[in-house]
Amino acid sequence: MRYKGIIFDLDGVICSTDAYHCQAWKAFADRLGIYFDRNINNRLRGISRMASLEIVLEKSDKAYTDEEKQAFAAEKNGLYRQLLGNMSAADLSDEVRDTLHALRARGIKLAVGSSSKNTPYILERIGLGNFFDAVSDGNGITRSKPDPEVFIKAAQMLDLEQAACLVVEDARAGVEAAVNGGFDAAAIGDAKDDERARWHLRRFSDLIEIVK
């Protein structure tokens, strides 16, 4: 077996919460009259809430205090949590669910490696609250992607060497983090053409072929 463990990014890989991040940032930016588009949104993939805010505020000509920035981050998170509140097990696609079960049936350990502090809540909503062998997320790290900390912690929780784990990512910052940490990366979605990734997934279920 090529990999003993797989570490999945959450937003945009396991579920489509990346679209909710985008919607929440857009609503926030609109309220402040700040320009926001898809390219800016794609730069937010994989990076922490506060780092994302700094990127969104690049288009503002105003300077904000740290206190205001904390309030902005909380505002965006409130909008995002409202969207998350409508999620259910129906928001986990059959393809992702079936692939996860097929990978587990092959004896591969499965973990989440996400920058999001909302990871436990999202996993609960989509019915994967107790599914993964390890969950490493934004609540347990001090440095966000492209730093490899979140993936290194996940590998440690799985009791596996980095070289034995594959990281699945939709963020360029996440592919970079994986490579920085000595992991192979499988890129999907927005990051699918990232040349630093060893594998390029057209669909999530392509993972089954990769681990054969």
Q: Shortest approach of Mg ion to residue 28 CB, angstroms?
A: 19
Residue 187, beta-bridge partner list: 169, 200
Residue choice 12, 113, 148, 181 for contact with Mg ion (CB under 5 A): 12
Indicate whether 146 belongs to the interface with Mg ion (CB under 5 A). Answer: no
Q: Give me the numbers of helices (H) and strands (E) for the chain, helices first please.
A: 9, 6
Short-list 155, 161, 167, CA closest to 191: 167
Q: Is 9 part of the annotated catalytic residue set?
A: yes
CB of 105 to ligand BG6, least distance (A): 27
Candidate list 9, 137, 190, 194, residue with the active-site label: 9
Strands lying side by side in the sheet with 134-136: 134-136, 109-113, 5-8, 165-169, 184-187, 199-200
Nearer to Mg ion, 47 or 134 (CB): 47
Q: Does 176 bind Mg ion (CB under 5 A)?
A: no
Establish whether the linkage from the previous residue to 146 is cis, with ω within 30° of 0: yes
Q: Which does 127 bind (CB under 5 to 8 A by kind): ligand BG6, Mg ion, none?
A: none
In angstroms, what is the minimal distance from the CB of 10 to ligand BG6? 6
Binding interface with ligand BG6 (CB under 6 A):
10-11, 21, 44-49, 52, 77, 114-118, 138, 171
The answer to whether 9 contacts Mg ion (rule: CB under 5 A) is yes
Whole-angstrom distance, CA of residue 12 vs CA of residue 46: 10
Q: Is 190 designated active site?
A: no
Least Å from the CB of residue 110 to ligand BG6: 17
Cα distance from N-terminal residue to C-terminal residue, the chain: 7
Q: Which of 4, 151 has the CB closer to ligand BG6?
A: 151
d(CA 191, CA 177): 13
- Residues binding Mg ion (CB under 5 A): 9, 11-12, 170-171
Which residues are known to be catalytic? 9, 11
